Amino acid sequence: MGGARRAVRLGAGAVVLAATFAVGASAASATTVDDEVALRAAVADPEETTVIVATDIDLTDCEAGEVFRPAGAVPISISGSATIRQMCPGHRVLASARPGLQTGPVVTGALTMEGLTITGGDLHSLGSSFGGGGIFWAGSVTLRDVLVTGNRALGTSYYGTGGGVASMGDATLIRTTVSDNVAGAAAGGGMGGFGGGVAAWADLTLIESTISRNVAAASSFPGSGAGAWVLGDSAVVERSTVADNRAEAGGAIPASGGGITARYLLVLRASTVVGNVAHGSDSRGGGIEASHLVVADSTVVANAAGYAANVLQWPDAGTDVRDPVVGSVIASPLGGGRNCEAVSTDGTTATEGHNFSDDDSCGLTAATDRQSAGDPQLGPLADNGGPTWTRMPQDGSPLVDAIAPASCQDGAAAGLATDQRGAARPQGSGCDVGAVERAAAPPTPTTAPPVGPDPGPVVPPPVAPPATPVVVVPRLAG
C-alpha cells in the first residue's frame, strides 16, 4: 500500500534490539533516594548519572511541581521497584528542560528508566510545551519494565500531547506498559489531544510492550494516535500489543489512528493491534494510520472506525518502493469501515502472501493469500503466555498450519522464528497466520501401550490421623 522514502532492511536480525542495555553506572556509584527531597535533588544535579529509588515516593511539593532535569545535563538512569506518584494537580511527574523555555542546549542527556511506576501526572499546558503528562524528555528515552499509568496532558489553549510519555528524541519501550492515560483539551479551552499514551517527536520502538486503554480526547478538534502518535520517520512495533485505545472526534473534524498513528513508516512484526476505536461520524483508521506499512506475522483485528476500521494508509508522493504485508490476519472490522483503505496512487498492498482477511479491501491477491475468507476464529484478548496479551487461534481456525514450513520466514517475516509470545514456529505441520502460533495437539497413539507384568493386588497405604489445623490470621495493612 504505497512506497517508502528510505530502505528498511528486514533480515534475520532486523528490528530486534540488543537485550543488554546499560542502566547507568554501577550500583556502587549510584545515588539511592528514599524521599521526595532527595529524588528532586538527585535529578536536578546535572552531573548525576545514576539514581536508585528505594521506596514509593509521593510528590507533594506543589510549588516545585514536576521532578526536573536541567538543560545540558548528562544522561541519567533512574531505576527501582517503586512508584513515583504526582499528588499536585497541574504538574507532570518527571520532565527535562524544554526548548524555548530554558537557556542552554536544546537537548538534555538521555533518560534510561527501569522498574518504576509513573502515575498521577496532570499537565495543564497554556501553550506549546510538547506535552507529556507522566514524562516529558527533550532527549532520547529508554523505558524498560516500566508502568506508565493514570496520567494526563491537557491543553488549555493548544493541543494536549503525550498523556503518558512525550519524547523529543527517540523513544524505546521494552517490556513496558503504557495504559489508562489521556491527552486532550482542558475544560473551557484547548484544541484536542494527540498521543493518548505516547507522543514521540522522533522515532518510536516498542519491544514486548503493551499500549492499552489510552484516550486522545477532543473538543472542537480531533483526537489522534490514541495509543501512540509518532512524528519521526518510523515506528517499529515488535512482539507487542496495542489494544483498546480510543481517539475521539471533535465537531465535524474526524478522529483518526485509534491504535497508532505514524507520520511516515510503521513496521509491525509479530504483534497484535486489536479493539482500538476512532470514534465519531467521520472517524478513520481505527487500528493503524500511516503513510507506509510493513506488516509481518501480525494480528490486526476488531478495530473500529467509520472509514478504514483496521488500516488507513496515506500517500507519500514521489516514492516507488511498495510496502510488504506477509503472514498476517486483518479482519473483523467494526464501526462501519472496511478492513483497509489506501489513499495512494496505486491503492494496493504489496502482499508477500500467506495473509488472511474477511473482505477484499486490503488487496491481498497473492496465490497464497485468502481474502473474503470468513471468520478467522480467534479467541479473546487474553494472557496466553509471554510478556503481552494476545488472541489465540481456536480449534478449527483457518489460520492454523496455513503456511508451509519452508515459507514461514518469507519476505518481511525474515528472522521471525518465534511468535509474539516467544513460542517457536511452527508448532504443527506449518506456521499459523498472525501473531500467535497455536501449540500442536499431542499425536494420537497408533498402537496400544505396552503391557507390563501383573503387579499383583494393590494394597492402599495406611491413613495417618488428621493433623491439628493451624489457623493463619492475615495481617491487615496499616
pLDDT at 425: 97
What is the model's pLDDT at position 250? Answer: 61
Q: Which of 110, 115, 124 is nearest to 69 (CA)?
A: 110
Q: Residue 150: its pLDDT value, please?
A: 97
Over 50: is that where the pLDDT of 362 sits?
Answer: yes
Q: Which residues contact 53 (CB under 8 A, 6 or more apart)?
A: 33, 34, 39, 78, 79, 80, 82, 84, 116
- The DSSP element (H or E) to which 44 belongs, if any, is helix 36-44
Q: Is the peptide bond before 426 cis (omega within 30 degrees of 0)?
A: yes
Q: pLDDT tens, 186-227?
A: 665 556 678 889 999 899 999 999 999 999 886 656 667 788
| Residue 331 CB partners (closer than 8 Å, separation 6+) | 300, 301, 302, 310, 339, 356, 357, 358, 375, 376
388: Cα separation from own chain's centroid: 10
More confident residue, 20 or 137: 137
* pLDDT-derived band at 303, boundaries 50, 70, 90: very high
- State residue 281's pLDDT score: 66
Residue 12 has pLDDT above 50, yes or no: no
Instruction: Please give the mean pLDDT across all residues of the chain.
Output: 83
pTM for this model (two decimals): 0.86
Mean pLDDT comparison of 95-109, 369-383, 454-468, highest-scoring range? 369-383
Distance of alpha carbon 465 from alpha carbon 310, whole angstroms: 63
Task: Please tell me whether residue 247 adopts helix, strand or coil conformation.
Answer: strand
Here the cell at position 407 is 515459507
C-alpha to C-alpha distance for 302 and 335, rounded to whole angstroms: 9
The DSSP line for 408-446 is TT-GGGTT--B-TTS-BS-SSSSBPSSS--PPPPPPPPS
Read off the pLDDT of each residue in 313-321 and give the average, rounded to a whole number: 57
Contact call for residues 340 and 316 (beta carbons, < 8 A): no
Summary count for the chain: helices (H), strands (E): 1, 41
**Which of 280 and 393 is assigned the larger pLDDT?**
393
Nine cell digits for residue 370: 485468502
What is the model's pLDDT at position 154?
Answer: 86
Where are the domains positioned within the chain?
33-413
Q: How far apart are CA 259 and CA 236, in angstroms?
A: 14
3-state SS class at 207: strand
Instruction: Give the model's pLDDT for residue 15.
Output: 42
Q: Quick check: helix, strand or coil at residue 13?
A: coil
Please report the pLDDT score of residue 256 as a whole number. 79
